[in-house]
Structure 1
Amino acid sequence: MVVPTFELILCIIAAVVLSSFLSRFIPKVSTPLVQIALGVLASQLPFFPDTELDPELFMVLFIAPLLYLEAHEIDKGSLLKSLKLSLSLAVGLAIATMVGVGFTLHAAWPVVPLAAALALGAALGPTDAVAVSSLSHEASLSQRQVGVLKGESLFNDASGIVGFQFAIAAAVTGTFEVGEAIGEVFISFFGGAIVGVVLGLIINWLFETVRSLGWETTTTRVLMELFLPFLLYLGAEAIHVSGILSVVAAGLIIRFDRSGVGPNVARTNIVASSVWSVLSFALNGAVFILLGMLLPDAMEASWNDQQISNLTLLATILIVAAVVVGMRFAWVAAMLRITRHEVTRERRRMTKERWRSAAVMTFGGPKGTITLSLMFTIPYTLADGEWFPMRDELIFIAGGVIVVTLLLANFLLPVVAPKRGTDDSRAITEASIEVLRRTVEELAERVTPDNRRAVMAVIDSYTKRITRLKHRLGAIDPIGFSELQIAALEWEKDYVKGRLAATKAQTGEQSVDRDLEIEACERLLDQIMTSLRHAVTDHDSAHAIWQIKGRMRSLQRRIKILSSRVNNLIRKNTPMLSEHQIYAHMRTVQTAAIDNVIDHLYDEMGKSTYNTEYCSALLLDYRRAEATLKARPNMGATTEMITQIEEIKRESYGIELSVIQDMLEADDITRSQARQLRKNVYVMSVAADSSI
């Protein structure tokens, strides 16, 4: 029998994988919201295991490694430049939110004790680091804004947790010693940071020593890296300082010692980066899936309580959310107003752009899983044995505020900081060059004595593409150029379809030449149609239906070719066509199709449909492809090499797509740029665009 915990883990992983697919089809909705919705849906399914959150286990299992990785990968330069503002938000605003929410909630709903209301305010102080990291995919945030938000999310967890713990202690015992509380906060906050720095320096020395002695292997190195955040958190908590701050400080110090040369070092670095990438995506998704699973149960008790009006609960959520968002906006605006310019050292007036920046950083601070996990630690009883007052209602309010802030971040942030409608041509061309460069590096890692010549030929083609892009940099709009590329594919398709129809219309007995022509045209047409289906990135229903029909026609063509060959084999009507014959004839048809496209491009240069410069550039590409095809001998001895090159080409396109996805997840490119880059890969994947 499968253990329920194991079933739960499998279900959560399945939901995370599903969310990655769904996010591609609903790009306007951020991935965290999709994952929360999946979590809510999963909690209502009868076969989904019940979930109980152990807050301490949640902090060490999820939050510690995520914050550790976030601290390690954050831009240290941007963090230092915005450190004052980040710490102001992480400490000053967290305390102000605690006080503001506490007194407002107690005044609006006196049945809630002041200490309990202050605890809710403290829990609503931390922003969600995971959600913050995904916001720049949905909106156009400056480097400084991203740095401030990420810096705040790294440091405010500790201040929120400490404030929450003291507020709960006051609510449970009924007493609160200000002096003692301040001392404990000081020790927990700075003690955690010091422990993290010291351990980080020791770990750096240890990693360097292990590598210098030759004891390091890929397996042991990756396992040591994965072990670190848990060790740091548990070690700091054991000596009663902030485990969160210890993890963050160590993450900023530890550098994983990615220096060094040689295949072993390169292999270790590649594997470590890949493992952390997969782990962070899985943990990020699991956090929000769990949040969605826990919200219904957390809010159900209060919603079904007949003694409390649901309207009162909803109104309270809106009031608390308004206080949280309003105080954050006022605080950020005040800090922007009093902060001096880096060069002139003068305070600047609040312009329209600076008010917009304040709004961006306001909506860019949603609440999340740490808030809910803190609320679940509220005890059920007080020190005198009485039930903790309004426990379920406080959890309900916290859950509602989390949803409100996430919705504001998802739908209002793109309004105040909209993505550009079209990508800057220079930016996307530079991104294309970076994708090709990384693809070449990956191909170079895969060279073996058997495939060396084929891989070098493919790398040479990538080098030529990089050179052409560098010459084209700043001169050609890649979006307009890709539209012409798609039109050229359409011309190829029309030519091959016409040639295929003419061959099928021939009457008389079947011949080897006729079968060869039909199969070569069918295969080439299938390649072109596949490229066209991927190159066109419309997302309407008509385009989806067109794609489905296209795949069905492709499947029909393949089945028809296969059945025809089997029939000929059984009846022995005509000799079986060899792959060498089909391959050679495909090149003949392809060369003729390229000639047809070249004629079209010459005609278009005299019209106004497409930019003459685009036509000239694409004409050069097709001329190179034509010269390469005509220079290829069609003898069987070279077919094996050509086939190997084609296989490596297909592999290289897969590498390009994975590099684009990695750059998107690392926030190096926008979603729009990623779509454009993917479309370029699909267009290039048609054999006619090859310059090998």
Structure 2
Amino acid sequence: MILLLAVVISSAVSRMLPVSIPTPLVQIALGALIGLGVNQRVELDPELFLLLFLPPLLFLDGWRIPKDELLKDLSTVVELALGLVLLTVVGMGFLIHWMIPAMPLAVAFALAAVISPTDPIAVSAIAARVPIPKRMMHILEGESLLNDASGLVCLRFAIAAALTGSFSASQAALSFLWMAVIGIGVGVVLTLVVTRAKAWVSERFGEETGSQILISLLIPFGSYLLAEHFHASGILAAVAAGVTMSFAEISRQALAMTRMGRNSVWDTIQFAANGIIFVLLGEQLPGILSGLDETVQMTGHANPWWLAFYVGAIMVGLAVLRFIWVWVSLRITLLRQAQNGATPPRAPWRLVATMSFAGVRGAITLAGVLTLPLVMGDGTPFPGRELAIFLATGVILLSLVMASVVLPILLCDLKMPAEPSKQAEENKARIAAAEAAIKAIERAQHALSKGRNDADVYATAAVRIMDVYRERIENRSLSDEANGATLRTDLIERDLRIAAITAEREEVFRLARNRKVGSETAKKLVRELDLLEVRYK
């Protein structure tokens, strides 16, 4: 309860501060205060921590990521999410082992694996007052969705190598293939089976909103646990389940009430889970810092400032690797466009730098490093676990601070290539939907008025409703110039409608306070007004 309260308070505090401080940093600070001021401590079980937080968050990322935008930049996303992760694991693993010889190479690779995934939620929080261009954000989201899975799969191999003391590249490749194929297959198949089953039940016996929402909550955990049962990747299963869920929803529609309630529930879960992870990081900080003397001794030094040096060196290594990879990836993309006969736009250095500093580490890094085993197979402590946790924590904090300072500067007045307008696509969809509505109204009118004496009443009502749709078709079928004027009129009309709806709602509340209308009537009217307001926002 204290952690959840801290999440709520941190959100309010981050909005109240006169300077732009990312919400994750505020949450970490509040968590540190809780760790210092509360006697009770959270003893994190690594496996339980992984199960509770990662499946729903990765499932939701896969569910909500724009699929068209992801496919458009799929090559860039794959280059960042797979190639960069492998380069980071290998390069940073050897660098960490070289800097700290006392840390076994397998443990160094495990640390490199957990600091390879990026966190778009932290980036969004940092850039809240300096909006990130949409295409860049889509690339970062797609990269995070895939590199979460690839980084954590690499972590699993590194832990296995540390526990067994051996590593076979061929065996690792076969294991990776099994984990990836079976994990993705489990997520896809389970989601399709569950969605088809619930659609069959809903069509024949009706739909109950609460159970539909609960099913969506159980799918990521079921996918994760089933994949782990087959010794596959539960992380990839959760991601695949989320992507499949988005396609399944298109073909098997749920009630509007179900979709609205489900979105609200998942928004709350995402807000709470991400917030709790950062609060937990802060709550663990006092314990991590209290053992600095013992932690630094493992490195062969006595001064704790060596740990700060190692964190800084790791950040420099990560930044250099990411900058080089982003630059090379961007050059390859531009060369491809040139070979296809297109004239590629010039890529400013600030674009490469922005993509590099946007690689902020966050919740997935913390969740991954906390899953390092407590003991080896023979019962001895896992070597370098506390040091790895400290270094990963330092990387998270430093990356958040650096990005919060540098990103707003780089994004200010950054000129991005013009993105194609989707207004024509939207107009086409609205016209097609309106034409379908008119046909449905005509069919419904004939069906309802057949054999009735008051058929003219049905005809009048149908004409009145169809006129609204015909006006919509006419407005969306104008020329580009006229369409621009119509859009401006729509914006003005939207503001006026919202003002009117706000006044209506305030009057309903006033009537309810004065007991001139009952609470049930007021609740019904307010809900209708809320739905109208959401439509215009």
Give the counterpart letter for 1:212 in structure 2.
E
Q: Distance in 2 between matches of 1:102 and 1:306?
A: 19
Is it true that 1:155 corresponds to 2:150 in the alignment? no
Paired residue for 1:28, among 17, 20, 27?
A: 20
**What is the CA deviation profile of residues 482-532 of structure 1, one whole-angstrom value per residue up to 9, with x for unaligned ones?**
9xxxxxxxxxxxxxxxxxxxxxxxxxxxxxxxxxxxxxxxxxxxx9xxx9x
Residues 183 and 236, structure 2, Cα contact 8 Å, conserved in 1: yes
Is it true that 1:295 corresponds to 2:285 in the alignment? yes
Q: Distance in 2 between matches of 1:306 and 1:183?
A: 38
**What is the CA deviation profile of residues 576-623 of structure 1, one whole-angstrom value per residue up to 9, with x for unaligned ones?**
xxxxxxx9xxxxxxxxxxxxxxxxxxxxxxxxxxxxxxxxxxxxxxxx
Is it true that 1:408 corresponds to 2:402 in the alignment? yes
Q: Which residue of 1 aligns with 2:411?
A: 417
Residues 193 and 245, structure 1, Cα contact 8 Å, conserved in 2: yes
Structure 1 residues 404 and 210, CA gap change in structure 2 (3 angstroms) = same
Paired residue for 1:170, among 161, 164, 187?
A: 161
Deviation at 1:102, TM superposition (A): 1.4
Cα-Cα RMSD: 4.0
Give the counterpart letter for 1:395 in structure 2.
I
Residues 392-403 of structure 1: pairs in structure 2 closer than 5 A = 392-403=386-397
Residues 35 and 285, structure 1, Cα contact 8 Å, conserved in 2: yes
Q: Distance in 2 between matches of 1:472 and 1:216?
A: 39
Deviation at 1:303, TM superposition (A): 4.6
Q: Which residue of 2 aligns with 1:72?
A: 63
Deviation at 1:168, TM superposition (A): 2.6
Is it true that 1:390 corresponds to 2:377 in the alignment? no
Q: Which residue of 1 aligns with 2:367?
A: 373
Structure 1 residues 137 and 210, CA gap change in structure 2 (3 angstroms) = farther
**What is the CA deviation profile of residues 347-392 of structure 1, one whole-angstrom value per residue up to 9, with x for unaligned ones?**
9889452x22222222222112322333233344545665444332
Q: Which residue of 2 aligns with 1:232?
A: 223
Structure 1 residues 148 and 105, CA gap change in structure 2 (3 angstroms) = same
**Bigger Rg, structure 1 or 2:** 1
Q: Which residue of 1 aligns with 2:273?
A: 283
Is it true that 1:253 corresponds to 2:247 in the alignment? no
Deviation at 1:116, TM superposition (A): 2.0
Residues 192 and 242, structure 1, Cα contact 8 Å, conserved in 2: yes
TM-score by length of 1: 0.58
Q: Which residue of 1 aligns with 2:99?
A: 108
**What is the CA deviation profile of residues 102-138 of structure 1, one whole-angstrom value per residue up to 9, with x for unaligned ones?**
1112222323222221221111111225324545534
Is it true that 1:242 corresponds to 2:242 in the alignment? no
Q: Distance in 2 between matches of 1:654 and 1:45?
A: 45
Q: Which residue of 2 aligns with 1:328?
A: 322
Q: Which residue of 2 aligns with 1:271?
A: 261
Deviation at 1:64, TM superposition (A): 1.0
**What is the CA deviation profile of residues 1-29 of structure 1, one whole-angstrom value per residue up to 9, with x for unaligned ones?**
xxxxxxxxx11111111122112212611
Q: Distance in 2 between matches of 1:395 and 1:141?
A: 30
Q: Distance in 2 between matches of 1:476 and 1:226?
A: 38
Give the counterpart letter for 1:30 in structure 2.
P
TM-score by length of 2: 0.73
- Any stretches of 5+ residues in structure 2 without a counterpart? 415-420, 422-483, 497-502
Residues 92 and 314, structure 2, Cα contact 8 Å, conserved in 1: yes
Q: Distance in 2 between matches of 1:373 and 1:173?
A: 23
Q: Distance in 2 between matches of 1:476 and 1:417?
A: 30
Structure 1 residues 348 and 240, CA gap change in structure 2 (3 angstroms) = farther
Give the counterpart letter for 1:37 in structure 2.
A
Is it true that 1:39 corresponds to 2:34 in the alignment? no
Structure 1 residues 132 and 168, CA gap change in structure 2 (3 angstroms) = same
Residues 352-367 of structure 1: pairs in structure 2 closer than 5 A = 352-353=347-348, 355-367=349-361
**What is the CA deviation profile of residues 202-241 of structure 1, one whole-angstrom value per residue up to 9, with x for unaligned ones?**
2332232122113421121111111111111111111111
Deviation at 1:331, TM superposition (A): 0.6
Q: Which residue of 2 aligns with 1:339?
A: 333
Q: Distance in 1 between matches of 2:129 and 2:290?
A: 31
Give the counterpart letter for 1:36 in structure 2.
I
Residues 138 and 419, structure 1, Cα contact 8 Å, conserved in 2: no
Structure 1 residues 101 and 345, CA gap change in structure 2 (3 angstroms) = same
Residues 117 and 365, structure 2, Cα contact 8 Å, conserved in 1: yes
